[in-house]
Every structure is written in structure tokens, then in C-alpha cells.
Amino acid sequence: MQGTTRLIKTWATGELGQDVLAGAGHDEAYDGSLAVVLERQQHFDAMREAGLIGADTRAFVPGATDSTDGSEGPIVLGYEGSLSDPGGDVQIGTQFFMQTQDYGTSEYLSLIGATLVRVIDETDFETFLEDADRAYLKGDLAEFATHPLVRLCDVTSLGSATPDRGPKLRLYVDAAGQISTSPGGAVLGKVGDDLETLEAEWARLNAASDTPCAVALAKVVPEQTRADALRERPWLAYYHSALAAVRDVRTRGLAELSEIHISGFGQRLDPDLEGADGSAHEARPGSPVLMWTDDQALVFDPRSEKTFQMGRPAARLAERLLVLGSVEAAAQGDEANLLKVEAFFQRAGVQLCVT
């Protein structure tokens, strides 16, 4: 069962995280699509014959007998329930349980285990935007969205900086044999089509949009509505990074949500930066997130998924570098210490400055 949680998160979110890479041992040099969910067991053989389920695939197949050694083919895990319809429980294999939920009612969730939260219609999408706006303007993040057990689905279509890797990463096959990257996604083909056919349609649909991942929510949110909302919020990728940052802090038991403040979300650690234009930092894909509580400060790097703890004086300098974009712009007679902070993060592979 090792890796099941990682691969389900990958399939649901569209993000290939560092934990997945570590578990898989490779990036894109895998055979078939990495994670595939079928609604009907009868489609398995045709998907395998078409090369969509390959030796490296983890396939989730309803009612199937588990085959987990992967020595001569894909790892197959049977499941009971639904990974596409919100509001129910899913059992994968014999030991792993998961909930699925629509975004609009997730505020009222009673979490009992791992949970996937899915945007299922335009109302859900509007609620997601309202939560993002409130967080950005007031620093008030939705509790469920930062819970360690929760993952928001299809984030590549919701403004995340992570590029969607399309059919090579994940596939969903509905009961009628239609194939997409997600349950709410545009149809890319049908059972029997090969990977090249699906990728060509995926590329065609994305080329028609000026915002990332026009596929994963195409059946549930009008593309013009989605694209307009993302363009109006160039900071959405930073919002997703902030959710991941707080989730990491909560997972590690470093702080509770009510204790955490996030730079750029209605406040700054350094009062002198209030009113400063941090738009370049917030719009930069993978930009680090600075947080603090009453007794500690932290920097989360979305690229490496690492969190760094530091004292407040150093954190204020890091914040100046992030918001103002360079040592020269941030210098206030303290250039030597700014350079030390910048050098520390550079050695850790983290870029604080925009330039």
C-alpha cells in the first residue's frame, strides 16, 4: 500500500509533489499514465492494450483484486465507493479510507480521515474565490482548506503555479468509457484511444485558453468565467502556496491556524512594509511564503516543500527581500545582514528575490 496516498493526491489535484517523485523514483520517464481511476472494471484491459495503463501505472479499479507487487505490470488497487462523486466514503484496498466532498459544503465537514474536496459547479467555484479573496484581503483562511488531511482537487485549474502535466500524469475514465484528466474535465477521448491522441486533444484545448489548465474543470465551470477570475487574481498561485504552507505547519504540529499570520495576506511582519507593492513577489510562480506566530517565524518554499524556522529579526529581513525584490531595494543601512539572509536561502536552493 506504500504510495497509495501520494498517488491519489496526485490524481485528484493534478500536482506531482516531491513526495510522489521520491516514492516513484523518477519524473516523467514512466510507462503509461502515472495514476488512473476507472469507474468500470470492464475498461481495464482496453486501457492496458492502448498503453494508457503501463508497467508504472497505479490503477484504481472498482471491485478489482489488488495486485501490489508491480513486478510484471501496473499496481492495481480495488476500491469501493466513488472517487468522483462527492459526499461519500471510499475504501481503497483493505486498509485505506477516504472521503470525497464538494467545496461548498466543506466548511461544515467533520473530518474522520483523508478527504478530497472538489469544485463540482459554478457555485462551488464562486465560493472558492470568495474564500481566496477573504484570505488575501483579511488573512482569514478557511480552516478546512489548510487541514493536513484535506486536499483541494484540480488546483492546476484553480490558479496553482504547478503546471498541469495532462494525460501522462493522470486519467479518469467514466462509466461510459469517456476519458479526461478529472471527473469534471473536458472529454479527451474514449477507451481504445492511445496516449498520443489524448495528449493532442489536451494540448488543443489548452491552446485555446490564456490561463493554465483549461481541461480539468471544463464540464463544471464555463471557461470564460474561470479564465476571467484567474486573470483578476494574479496572486492566486501565492494563495495556493499559502494553503500548502499552513498545512505543512499544522502537519508538523508547529502551530494552529488561529496562531499563524502570513505576509501579504492583510498584514506584514515588518510594519514598514505596510502598503508596499508586493505584487511581483506574489505573482512569481513558486514564491516562498513567510509566516509568523507570537514566538516564531517560518518560511515555506513551495518548490522544495520545505519549511525553515528563524528568529524574527532575520524573518523581517527575509520579508523585505521577498516584498521589495532585491538587496538594493530592501537596504536600509543593513545591507550586510540582508546579504547573509539571502546567502543562507540561496545555499538551501530557495530564491527570495525576484531578480
Instruction: Name the H helices within the chain.
Output: 4-13, 18-24, 44-49, 122-138, 195-207, 223-232, 236-251, 279-283, 312-324, 327-330, 335-347
Query: What is the residue type of 192?
Result: G
- Beta bridge mates, 324: none
pLDDT for 26 = 45
Q: What span, in angstroms and rounded, lies between the C-alpha atoms of 100 and 84?
A: 8
Place of cell 474564500: 131
Q: What span, in angstroms and rounded, lies between the C-alpha atoms of 144 and 122?
A: 20
Contact (CB, 8 A) for 122 and 220: yes
Best CA proximity match to 116, nearest among 98, 142, 96 = 98
> What are the angstrom distances between the C-alpha of 287 and each of 78, 117, 133, 178, 270?
39, 24, 19, 37, 18
Best CA proximity match to 338, nearest among 319, 310, 311, 351 = 319
**pTM, two decimal places:** 0.93
Per-residue pLDDT reduced to its tens digit, 82-116:
999 998 889 987 778 899 999 999 888 777 789 99
Q: What span, in angstroms and rounded, lies between the C-alpha atoms of 346 and 329?
A: 18
pLDDT for 24 = 46
Q: What span, in angstroms and rounded, lies between the C-alpha atoms of 67 and 77?
A: 6
Q: Mean pLDDT for each 10-residue chunk of the chain (355 residues)?
A: 77 79 51 93 96 93 80 84 90 86 88 90 98 97 95 96 90 98 98 97 96 96 97 96 97 95 96 91 93 96 94 95 92 88 95 85
* DSSP string over 16-80: --HHHHHHHS-SS--SB-SEEEES-GGGHHHHHHTTSB-TT-EEEEETPPPB---SSS-EEEEEE
Would you give the distance in Å from CA 154 to the centre of its chain?
7
